[in-house]
Structure 1
Amino acid sequence: MKVGMIGCGNISAQYLATFPSLPDVELVAVADIDLERARTVAAAHEGVRALSVDELLADPEVETVLNLTIPAAHAEIDRRAIAAGKNVYSEKPFAVATADGAAVLEAAAVAGVLTGSAPDTVLGTGTQTARAAIDEGLIGTPIAATATMLTPGHERWHPAPDFYYVPGGGPLLDMGPYYIHALVTLLGPVASVIGASSRTRSERTIGSGSRAGESIPVTTDTHVTGVLVHESGALSTLVMSFDAVATTIHPIEVHGSEGTLAVPDPNRFDGDVELHRLGGEGWETLPVSAGYPEASRGIGLQDMAERGAGLRASGALGQHVLEVMNGVLEAAASGSRVEIVSTVERPAAVPLATRGTPAPASS
């Protein structure tokens, strides 16, 4: 699968490092709003051409567009790529507005092309080993989960953090996809949500790079709490914050009738999965039993190339998670429960795979 990457910002380096290990994926072109930045990337990677965005979208060699633009541009770039007959794989979130994400899926269905959505961290051994433990009944019937992400804010390290603090940013749309994609992978789709949110400051100070010391406005809430009611009946409590300092809580915990799982950081592909059994004497670390070992960002493209329409990090999953996140924000603003209209199949499990060898297509 020949890929053209649009967007050569910070996250692109992680994808660029992964491409050489993907047996069925080849990067052939890059583009950026700053063409010089694209030329710099292309010069460092043999066989990769630097193009304008328009040129890349029109290039007949490019089969799939990897969309690494800012969130506000995701839907527009995806629709333009689809109109050119190309598959799309978007960084998270799938879009900013739920309606825009739905329009991308509709356009893809009409055009007969594939849609994928980050994060593909859920395909790694961390989340997948936890998924296997749940499927094996190690915690009995899943009852509830908690998902917690606390940080003082990305402006402390990101040289251009403006987009984190406008509508379409904030801790939920930025970090929520990692946690909610994992929760849907573990517990299935979400039927309804409630939520509350707040913000503590009207501006932030950039802490690094050429703009260090510059203040930027905050126009979106920076602490969000939600409860997700899964179709299975399980309840997930979500806390996403750019205001808090630290926590001792596991990133995700899944509680069942016979035990509790501690799931590693869903922003990573690996990490220990721990189990505390009912009547047990403490936490035990489970052996790695599923997922792509040593995976990194971009493994979702390999999954797309290998499985086609059965890809796990699908646009449909990204759209469902987007609706869930916007539902939480809507519930926070209205004080009312919000029903989630979309649903999605729980993605197929990833059998334990050797690095560089895709998992088999069966679930």
Structure 2
Amino acid sequence: MAKQTHRIGILGSGNIFGRYVTGLAAHFPELRIVRVGDIDVARAKQAAADHAVPAWGDDAELYGDESVDIIVNLTPPVHHARTIITGLDAGKHVYVEKPLATTVEEGRAVLSAAARSGRVLGSAPDTFLGSASQTARRALDEGLIGTPVGASAFIGHSKAETWHPDPRFLFQPGGGPVMDMGPYYFAILVNLLGPVRSVTAASRIGAPTRPVTAPERAVDSVEVTVPTHAGAVLTFASGVIATAQMSFDVWDSDLPFMEIYGTEGTLSLANPNHFDGDVRVRRHGDAEWTVLKPAFALFGAVGTREQARRGLGVRDLADAVEGGPHRANAAYAFHVLEALCAVDKASEEGRVVELDSTCERPQPRVSD
């Protein structure tokens, strides 16, 4: 069945803008980008020219453009709640980059706005929709490693100081390894294992000042005001216990990205920041690891620039607008947000934090 055409307005034309433009163009031509909006109008104009987007302007013009039915919100995380609510109140469906918001209170306000508006709200991270996480999900659902007992997740440094022209937001409230990279890992863990029941954690700041060496950098150094190294234990409603290390102080490591441990074997996953990558299994008694056949065609070729593409979550939201299942939905994103915020809360208060929210495991993808 042919997909409906949706007209997309992208709010924010910063570092990740091109990844969405190329991903949507390569895979979903029915999702037509018709406008770029940014408080920096000159940057919006340049982005539109670089990517042949027909209209550009400030954020207010995007909200008021009646031809736009879906806003893809790529603003910095500290602006997510306000800009999501403004977009919903303007009558647009909204898909927002991760995280949904930067606090639980903001997240609840966003959910209330979505319910009030009657519009569809979706949120990254959407990498759990890719071939790697869906392959692991199928393996778990089919009992390939028996009953899941435990899991581990290791987040190392993305070395943003060396490539991002202005990484200040990564070391300020709303950033740090927990809120920056943690969403990818927690979203995939919830997709695989179900909702989180409780969190305990400890965290600290490593180097208090970070030199920035990126080409064409906007600043030479960054003052760190959020923890840059955290260790957490997540207990899932299913009883699975996961350990997670999230750090901007681990520059190099031989640790795996993520593993799931079952009564009959182990699953090892590729980088949760990517849609695709090898999923390996080693059942008890196996002499070596086996790479599982991907459940879906790759979204972007592994090891190439294509792997940085984004857009599956926007297609997922469009499917929901058309009446289909919504996997990267607001309730799911809010539960991931609460679990992430619980890491900081547990560390600050020195206690186990019980989560108030829950969510359904997203339906597995069944076809491309």
- The alpha-carbon distance between structure 1 residues 159 and 293, as it changes in their structure 2 partners (threshold 3 A), is closer
| Residue 7 of structure 2, aligned match among 2, 10, 13 | 2
Return the offset for 1:171: 0.4
Instruction: Report the residue type matching 2:62 in the other structure.
Output: L
- The alpha-carbon distance between structure 1 residues 30 and 158, as it changes in their structure 2 partners (threshold 3 A), is same
| Residue 16 of structure 1, aligned match among 21, 24, 30 | 21
Return the offset for 1:48: 2.6
Name the structure 2 match of 1:83: 89
| Alignment of structure 1 residues 296-311 onto 2, 5 Å | 296-308=309-321, 310-311=325-326
Name the structure 2 match of 1:356: none
Distance in 1 separating the partners of 2:286 and 2:86:
55
CA displacement, residues 87-116 of structure 1 (integer Å, 9 cap, x when unaligned) = 111101110011111111111111111111
Distance in 1 separating the partners of 2:359 and 2:148:
19
CA displacement, residues 280-330 of structure 1 (integer Å, 9 cap, x when unaligned) = 112111111247644831111111112336311112211111110100110
What SS does structure 1 have at the residue aligned with 2:170? helix
What SS does structure 2 have at the residue aligned with 1:228? strand
Instruction: Report the residue type matching 2:167 in the other structure.
Output: P
Return the offset for 1:156: 2.3
Instruction: Report the residue type matching 2:350 in the other structure.
Output: G
Instruction: Give unmatched runs, 5+ long, in structure 1.
Output: 354-363
Name the structure 1 match of 2:350: 335
Instruction: Report the residue type matching 1:171 in the other structure.
Output: P
Q: Does 1:249 align with 2:262?
A: no
Q: What TM-score, normalized by structure 2, do the two folds share?
A: 0.92
Matched-pair contact (CA < 8 Å) for 1:154–1:242: no
Return the offset for 1:351: 2.3
What SS does structure 1 have at the residue aligned with 2:261? strand
- The alpha-carbon distance between structure 1 residues 291 and 349, as it changes in their structure 2 partners (threshold 3 A), is farther
Indicate the RMSD between aligned Cα atoms, in angstroms.
1.6
Distance in 2 separating the partners of 1:272 and 1:11:
24
Return the offset for 1:154: 1.8
Name the structure 2 match of 1:182: 188
Return the offset for 1:47: 5.0
| Alignment of structure 1 residues 139-158 onto 2, 5 Å | 139-151=145-157, 153-158=159-164
Name the structure 1 match of 2:304: none
- The alpha-carbon distance between structure 1 residues 84 and 106, as it changes in their structure 2 partners (threshold 3 A), is same
What SS does structure 2 have at the residue aligned with 1:42? helix
Q: Does 1:281 align with 2:260?
A: no
Name the structure 2 match of 1:319: 334
- The alpha-carbon distance between structure 1 residues 185 and 242, as it changes in their structure 2 partners (threshold 3 A), is same
Matched-pair contact (CA < 8 Å) for 1:64–1:87: yes
| Alignment of structure 1 residues 168-247 onto 2, 5 Å | 168-211=174-217, 214-247=220-253
Distance in 1 separating the partners of 2:243 and 2:167:
27
Matched-pair contact (CA < 8 Å) for 1:123–1:292: no
CA displacement, residues 239-278 of structure 1 (integer Å, 9 cap, x when unaligned) = 1100012221221100000110001111111111100101
Instruction: Report the residue type matching 1:18 in the other structure.
Output: G
- The alpha-carbon distance between structure 1 residues 34 and 6, as it changes in their structure 2 partners (threshold 3 A), is same
| Residue 132 of structure 1, aligned match among 124, 129, 138 | 138
Q: What TM-score, normalized by structure 1, do the two folds share?
A: 0.94
- The alpha-carbon distance between structure 1 residues 159 and 84, as it changes in their structure 2 partners (threshold 3 A), is same
Distance in 2 separating the partners of 1:291 and 1:139:
24
Tell me the percent identity: 43
